[in-house]
Structure 1
Amino acid sequence: MKSFWNNLGYQGVGIVEANSHSGGIWVLCSNSNISVRVLDVVDQCISFEITMGNTSSYRSAVYANPHIHRRKELWGDLTRIANMIHGPWIVLGDFNDVLLQSEVRGGQFRLARAEQFAETLEDCGLFDMGAIRRRFTWYRKVKGGVQVAKKLDRAVINQDWRLMFPEAYTEVLARLHSDHCPLFTRCKMAKRATKGHRPFRFQAVWMTHPLFRNVVDTAWNRGAPDVVKCLLEVQKDATSFNKKVFGNIFVKKRELERLLNDVQITLESREDQQLRIKEQVLHQELNAVLLQEELLWYQKSREQWTVIRRKRNKIHGLFLEDGSWTTETTTL
């Protein structure tokens, strides 16, 4: 089997051999421009790091055991691996479980198992990427000719992975010689702004500084009555204000924490009224910086989830009247 893939230009990255006709995972790579490092291998999951240039991300390929007691081992392994990974992460494959009742047709939905699966994803910071073309990924006929269908295969990702690949999506392809449908995840990295040309973003946290309103008023008046020029002047002065006056919140926070710690250590050995006053002042300044930090992270999180919502609302293709799927763009 290795020679077969080698002849097609693929190299084996990680392999878990099948047990008779059950299980088995092969991770193959055909791109010589990327570096692959295996992080962890267990019988139900292979995890690895992919590096391309200065960019790294993580992948895990899973083939969950059909027996629930063994599948619980996989949930534990994924939680363990999540603690090893700090960055973009996608996990894809056959999880042999469903999350929602709508992911089952003609079979039983077991709530307890779905809850265990959902809790594992939440503990790992993962969420379902979603898929196009098909609702189910596994089909099997049972007695009486009734066909059972379930969504057992999926791709789940963390927020960092979605931000790195905002246009990525997963297709459920046609099944041929298996009762499972193949998954095909198409990745497209976000374009990075070149150095020196970062887009301007208004930071709500600037409004907490008493001097910022005057910065905006002065810049706006300088550009009036041309609104476009006013906005450009505000952008220029706000950027300068951020660099020269407002400064780095995280640097301020560390410095205030250091000063407060030094004062409190000194007060443990001797009482000093001036140091008590300084301690109170440092407390107030640190609280103000913590509020600014909270506002900064809140705005950042809103921007990130906007990217995610935009991806979920993006139309990748349409079903035509004849039932065929198309991704071609036509002009009416």
Structure 2
Amino acid sequence: MQCSLHSASVHHIDLDVSLGDKGWRFTGFYGWPAVSERHLSWQLLTVLGEDFEGPWMCIGDFNEVLYAIEMKSGERTQWQMNNFRDAVDECGLRDVRFEVYEFTYDNGQIGEANRQCRLNRAMGNEAWFDLFPYAKLEHLTREWSDHAPIKLWLDRRETQRGRKKLIRFEQVWVGEDGCEEAIRRAWDRGGTDILGKLRQCGEELMAWKGVRIGKLMQDIQRKRR
């Protein structure tokens, strides 16, 4: 792998990466932690993504959630999440599907004072997903930090029985928060081809399902441990 520095600041590092015959842009991102300065994060993100059409991966600690379901506790005002989503949409980015426990931040407190949410994530544009269609993000075990480290796998395809897992829409999803919004976002991003729109909807719904529907089982498993 070869890397060349494009730009850097306290809040980002922007690289050109090449691996074999594949090349893409890689941005490590750290969002402003103070809410009053959070708009600077989205200004930086949109500037980085301005007029860029090549493969792009952006990964890091964004210090914000995209949806309320990405929080186990605590509160976020709607405008905070909207501003983040607007910047992500403007850059043409979408989440890499993740594995293991969904929340990457834990303040370490107990009881009602405990706060958990998903602040760390990896997002790519469509050109990047064309290069790495089997990419996945792994949330590693949090030990000394209040943030869990994350590991990006460029090829995490399922090998069991050599078959691709089918995506089946469940009627129960219709009444769940965020389902309709995930479909609308996917439909807008899926291009003009109907198959592309359906494929995007499937990916978005599976990512949404991993956050919303899988939460109960993950909570049970965590409490058992």
Asked if these proteins are the same fold (TM beyond 0.5), I'd say yes
Which residue number in structure 2 is paired with residue 118 of structure 1?
A: 85
Q: Bigger shift: 117-126 or 138-147?
A: 138-147
Which residue number in structure 1 is paired with residue 178 of structure 2?
A: none
Instruction: Say whether residues 1:100 and 2:104 are aligned partners.
Output: no
Q: Which residue identity lines up with residue 171 of structure 1 in the other structure?
A: E
Which residue number in structure 1 is paired with residue 26 of structure 2?
A: 59
| Distance in 2 of aligned mates of 1:189 and 1:49 | 22
Q: Which residue identity lines up with residue 13 of structure 2 in the other structure?
A: I
Find the residue that maps to 1:107 and give its secondary structure. coil
Q: Which residue identity lines up with residue 66 of structure 1 in the other structure?
A: P
Task: Label 1:305 to 1:36 Cα distance change in 2 as closer, same or farther (>3 A).
Answer: farther
Which residue number in structure 1 is paired with residue 199 of structure 2?
A: 306
Q: Kindly provide the CA deviation profile for residues 103-134 of structure 1, in whole angstroms up to 9, marking residues without a partner as x.
A: 11221122110000000001111112231111
Find the residue that maps to 1:174 and give its secondary structure. coil
Instruction: Say whether residues 1:133 and 2:26 are aligned partners.
Output: no
Q: Kindly provide the CA deviation profile for residues 220-272 of structure 1, in whole angstroms up to 9, marking residues without a partner as x.
A: xxxxxxxxxxxxxxxxxxxxxxxxxxxxxxxxxxxxxxxxxxxxxxxxxxxxx
| Distance in 2 of aligned mates of 1:61 and 1:165 | 18
Find the residue that maps to 2:66 and give its secondary structure. coil
Instruction: Say whether residues 1:78 and 2:69 are aligned partners.
Output: no
Choose which of 3, 8, 13 in structure 2 pairs with 1:46. Answer: 13
Q: Which residue identity lines up with residue 31 of structure 2 in the other structure?
A: A
Which residue number in structure 1 is paired with residue 165 of structure 2?
A: none
Among the aligned pairs, what percent are the same residue?
Answer: 23
| Distance in 1 of aligned mates of 2:139 and 2:40 | 27
Which residue number in structure 2 is paired with residue 184 of structure 1?
A: 151
Equivalences for residues 11-26 of structure 1 within 5 A:
none
Q: Bigger shift: 46-55 or 148-157?
A: 46-55
Find the residue that maps to 2:134 and give its secondary structure. coil
Which residue number in structure 2 is paired with residue 157 of structure 1?
A: 124
TM-score for the superposition, normalised by structure 2: 0.69
| Distance in 1 of aligned mates of 2:5 and 2:198 | 30
Which residue number in structure 2 is paired with residue 249 of structure 1?
A: none
TM superposition shift of 1:313? 5.2
How many residues align? The count is 181
> Where is the helix percentage greater, Structure 1 or Structure 2?
1
Find the residue that maps to 1:105 and give its secondary structure. coil
Task: Label 1:151 to 1:88 Cα distance change in 2 as closer, same or farther (>3 A).
Answer: same
Which residue number in structure 1 is paired with residue 169 of structure 2?
A: none
Q: Kindly provide the CA deviation profile for residues 145-192 of structure 1, in whole angstroms up to 9, marking residues without a partner as x.
A: 6311011111111111111111110011110100101111100299xx
Q: Kindly provide the CA deviation profile for residues 27-67 of structure 1, in whole angstroms up to 9, marking residues without a partner as x.
A: xxxxxxx2211112121111111023442111111111211
Q: Which residue identity lines up with residue 27 of structure 2 in the other structure?
A: S
Which residue number in structure 1 is paired with residue 56 of structure 2?
A: 89
Give the number of the structure whose alpha-carbon radius of gyration is greater: 1
| Distance in 2 of aligned mates of 1:177 and 1:91 | 25
| Distance in 2 of aligned mates of 1:186 and 1:84 | 27
Find the residue that maps to 2:129 and give its secondary structure. helix
**Unmatched tracts of structure 1, length 5 or more:** 1-33, 191-296, 325-332
Task: Label 1:161 to 1:54 Cα distance change in 2 as closer, same or farther (>3 A).
Answer: same
| Distance in 2 of aligned mates of 1:56 and 1:189 | 19
Q: Kindly provide the CA deviation profile for residues 55-92 of structure 1, in whole angstroms up to 9, marking residues without a partner as x.
A: 21111111112112433222111111112533111111
TM-score for the superposition, normalised by structure 1: 0.48
CA RMSD of aligned residues (A): 3.2
| Distance in 1 of aligned mates of 2:201 and 2:7 | 29
TM superposition shift of 1:139? 0.5
Which residue number in structure 2 is paired with residue 37 of structure 1?
A: 4
Task: Label 1:181 to 1:46 Cα distance change in 2 as closer, same or farther (>3 A).
Answer: same
